[in-house]
A and B are shown apart, each in its own frame.
Chain A
Amino acid sequence: MAEITAVSALRAALAAEEAASYGYGVAGAHLSGSRQAAAQQDWEGHNKARDTLTAMIYALGAQPVTAQAFYSLPFPVHDGTSAMALAAYLEDGVTRAYLGVVAISDQRLRDFGALAMQSSAERAAYWRGSTQAFPGLDP
């Protein structure tokens, strides 16, 4: 049963990473300079995380979720401000997904989820321009 729970949590994290990877492609098109470079770096980070999660799910004997060809955006993205808001929104989703991994009883998965949460919370703070008291949790 523990494996099933771990798989579902990892699949949720993978889905969030896939969505973030897609979303950064949209956001990056509306950014320039150092912010575009940051978006590029974060996009690459999400792609790496996606590969890691896929390997972890396979290692548990399960199949990863398939990425969607298209994701609906939570709001229109037409300039740098909305692009940054989208990036923060995506990172919040990733943080919430990894919070589910922290609930798994396996210690290594807990640590993995907690450290991944730190990375996504840091990126969210960068894009939002402010920190939060409880990343991934309801305030």
Chain B
Amino acid sequence: MPDIAPRRRSLLASAATLPLLLAIAGCRSSDAFTGPDPLASRPRPAPDVVTLAAVIAAEESLISLYRTALARDSASVPARDLPALLAQHEQHLTRLRARLIQPPGTATATASPGPSAKASAAAPGRVTIARLRAAERASAASLVRRLATVEPALAQLFASIAASDATHVAALGG
């Protein structure tokens, strides 16, 4: 087996000396390319990444809504299946996050969780079963609307989560 370590070290050394060489030549890194400077700004994320980040944000909002409902121990929110439903949303979030690979330092703030999730996050005060039901229904509908723009495997994950959300609506008495 060839020893690749020295070659790798030499590549790293070359990369480290590149700015120095450019400086000696009186160039900025951007002058070395004829197109737009690839270092000038962070590359725009692919559509799938933007959609996935938005779905993750919406799932986080839904989980927050369930946690609020459970923490309040309100008479308007009977305990019944809420912990089990919350656990399934946490599973959704785990699997969605596993699909998202972003460069370090990339915030998910570019994602738009959609109107239903925004409404849920904006008014955390009173969480009734009806509100959870509406949020589940909105989540399922939103996921189906997002199917158009994503690759097949991600579309299948969205559809499965939407189906799970639909069963939650029924479990909440819808």
Contact = CB atoms under 8 A, between A and B. Distances in A.
B170 A99 contact: no
Is chain B's binding surface mostly helix, strand, loop or mixed?
helix
Nearest to A100: B156
Contacts of A132: 88, 164, 167
Contact residue range for chain A? 20 to 34
A131 interface: yes
A75 interface: no
B170 A114 contact: no
Contacts of A1: none
Nearest to A139: B91
Nearest to B147: A110
Contacts of B152: 102-105
Given A95-B163, A134-B91, A125 B171 contact: yes
Contact of B164 (A99, A105, A107, A134): A134
A132 to B, nearest CB: 6
A133 to B, nearest CB: 4
A106 B50 CA distance: 21
Contact of B170 (A107, A122, A133, A134): A122
A114 B147 contact: yes
Given A110-B147, A114-B162, A134-B161, A125 B167 contact: yes
B160 interface: yes
Contacts of A102: 147, 152, 155-156, 159
B84 A131 contact: yes
A131 B171 contact: yes
Nearest to B168: A131
A135 B160 contact: yes
B116 to A, nearest CB: 16
B133 interface: no
A130 interface: yes
A14 B95 CA distance: 29
Interface string A88-122: 00000001000100111101001101110110111
A118 B84 contact: no
A126 B84 CA distance: 16
A59 to B, nearest CB: 21
Given A121-B163, A131-B88, 15 more contacts: A99-B160, A102-B152, A102-B156, A102-B159, A103-B155, A104-B152, A114-B158, A114-B163, A117-B163, A118-B166, A121-B164, A135-B160, A135-B167, A136-B163, A137-B156
9 contacts: A102-B152, A110-B147, A114-B147, A121-B163, A122-B167, A131-B88, A131-B167, A134-B91, A134-B160
Which 3 pairs of residues, A with B, have the shortest CB-CB distance? A121-B163, A118-B166, A114-B159
